[in-house]
Amino acid sequence: MLERLRIVLVRPIRSGNVGAVCRAMANFGLSDLVLVAPRCDHLDAQGVGFAARALPRLEAARIVETIPDALADCVHSFATSAKGGFYRRNAAIDARAGARLAIGAASTGRVAIAFGPEDRGLVLEELLHFDRVIEIPAAPQYPALNLAAAVTIIAYELLVASRTATSLAGGPAAGGSGPVSAPDARAVDAQKRVMFERLFASLERIGFFRNQQYENHLRLGIRHMLGRLDLSANEADILLGIARQVAWYADQAERAAGTSSADRAASADQAAGADHASSADHASRGGPRERRSESTQR
């Protein structure tokens, strides 16, 4: 089960922290590390020193350019955040609950847990990439955790949740590293990403986000509401179909509005043309009468 869990570090700044993360991963049985656009050389002397005997994990770390690249093959994804705010607080779960959900999801495929850079964490726009948000409880006076410390806490909870799942199952945790045997495969992140992009675009076209002070807050609520559902590939296709139908309806409404405008413009042109013709006809009829009147006077 643990081999299906991926730790994602987004734009890490300090190589020592990356090395310490590798050590924590080794302590708790995790092996898959992905770095998104790192701002340090993770293999420098400090990174190697902090990794200690977890150096193989540091050397095996995969580097990608974007968050979607790191999540593409995952069936479920979690972001960690220490920042508050109404929408984040309502969407967030604690580390223990997140670990249990991650272990459960790992029975159907790969699961990612992401951590933001040391200086600012993950911003709201980046949280939209993830199914759920994990918040580690901390003292309100200083809630920001060191990157390696945050990974250590999550890694510990993952190990505990994995052992609990194994115990409840009466043997090795379900799923293992073998092929997925679920009758309805889970939707991977790449499929869900297309679905959410189409859904948000369609909702935008029918004015769903209109008059919202912060549109992304509502998007975040929708993203995490659907993220809780653990969508299957078929269910994601159904939602994609709904998005396409909404877009089709918007197309029809726009065409109807365009046709009505064109009809009104054509009617106005016809009316103007009729007025012009009438005026011209009147002038032509009035001219001879005036001439005849003039000749009579003579």
- Read off the pLDDT of residues 231-289 as tens digits, 9 standing for 90 and up: 888 888 888 899 889 988 888 888 888 765 555 556 556 655 555 555 555 555 555 44
Structural domains for the chain: 2-169 (3.40.1280.10), 187-298 (no CATH)
Can you tell me the distance from the alpha carbon of 246 to that of 121, in angstroms, rounded to the nearest whole number? Answer: 35
pLDDT at 289: 45
Determine the average pLDDT of the residues in 190-215: 85
pLDDT at 220: 82
Tell which residue, 64, 66, 133, has the closest CA to residue 101: 133
Can you tell me the distance from the alpha carbon of 92 to that of 80, in angstroms, rounded to the nearest whole number? Answer: 9
Determine the average pLDDT of the residues in 54-70: 97
pLDDT at 190: 86
pLDDT at 99: 95
pLDDT at 294: 43
CA atoms within 13 A on the CB side of 199: 19
The pTM (predicted TM-score) of the whole model is 0.69
pLDDT at 165: 84
